Amino acid sequence: MMAAPVTPSFVETLPPLRGRLQADAKLAPFTWFRCGGPAEVLARPADAEDLSSFLAALPHDVPVHVIGACSNLIIRDGGLPGVTIRLARGFSAIKVEAGGVTAGAAALDVTVSEHAAAAGLTGLEFLSGIPGSIGGAVAMNAGAYGGDVAGVLDWAEVVTHSGERRRLSAAELRFAYRHSALPPGAVVTRAHLRAQPGDPGLIAQRMADIRQAREASQPVRARTGGSTFRNPDGMKAWELIDAAGCRGLTRGGAQVSEKHCNFLINTGTATAADIEGLGEEVRRRVLAATGVRLEWEIKRIGLPGAKPEVVS
């Protein structure tokens, strides 16, 4: 009797990768919230060329997600179907030049600012107050403490969903508040940020001031995801949340921070549904109390779990 044919697993049907492909990979340890479901397949390419050839050969109907430092992200409890791309070692190089810094997408924002400061370059101090990586900073035009990526970026290199490698100028990215016009499905791999010679003492003091301000006003040592909602025009999201009586509000293991109420935290047992559901409850209460509809700044991706929260 002939044996029944063995159906290959999903990961076995994918194009080759010099990096690593891992099926059913846990993603919660990567996220700042420390919760959420797994990736059906996690791809960690070796370098931009590896990523390009992989995406070029990947069937276009396979869902693709990209994660970085996961500092401003909720991955829902049902996880991410298809392929999840995470850039790591081959994308973390930082090169300081006369006119600025070229950094890989996986380089942490704070590390880039530190390299610039060590070289006596000013203009990138604001990055020391942003908990994320350069790829994510470009994708969402990250900003804080008087600066943003739009104000310093010369170009960003990307790999498109079809595997094409392109260099895009700041003008082509059409930056807006917490937004860039990346081609759909494109992955940022590297960027050049402008910086100018400055006084090392003033640069160090500016970064120390930013660090002190963050620690004084934000729950930086908690399991959090950064600013939850965008600031509406002319208003502060945290003030609206406070006015609606949401400071300290809880749902399951999730809580609105007592220290800064535009931050949600995982007190230790929260699911992604707890956190997202709490955020939606905050939006509902703010709308009812103030007439203002808050918009999420935290990105939320993936499938709900078996018993999802009801979210709008």
Out of 76, 178, 214, 285, the active site residue is: 178
CATH topology of domain 219-301: 3.90.78
Query: Is 49 labeled as catalytic in the residue annotation?
Result: no
- What does the buried/exposed string (b/e) look like for 132-161 if buried means 16 or more CB atoms within 10 Å of the residue's CB? bbbbbbbbbbbbbbebbbbebbebbbbbbe
- What pLDDT, in 10s, does the model give residues 164-203? 999 999 999 999 988 999 999 899 999 999 999 999 999 9
From the candidate CATH numbers 2.30.30.230, 3.30.43.10, 3.40.50.300, 1.25.40.10, the one assigned to the domain spanning 17-89: 3.30.43.10
CATH code 3.30.465.10 for 90-216:
yes
pLDDT score at 307: 57
- Segments making up each domain of the chain, as ranges: 17-89, 90-216, 219-301
Out of 113, 128, 133, 227, the active site residue is: 227
- What pLDDT, in 10s, does the model give residues 266-282? 999 999 999 999 999 99
Query: Is 285 labeled as catalytic in the residue annotation?
Result: no
Q: Is 77 helix (H, G, I), strand (E, B) or coil?
A: coil
- What does the buried/exposed string (b/e) look like for 188-213 if buried means 16 or more CB atoms within 10 Å of the residue's CB? bbbbbbebeebeeeebeebbeebeee
3-state secondary structure 150-192: HHCEEEEEEECCCCCEEEEEHHHHCCECCECCCCCCCEEEEEE
- What pLDDT, in 10s, does the model give residues 18-61? 999 999 999 999 999 999 999 999 999 999 999 999 999 999 99
Out of 157, 281, 297, 309, the active site residue is: 297
Find where tokens 């917490």 sit: 178
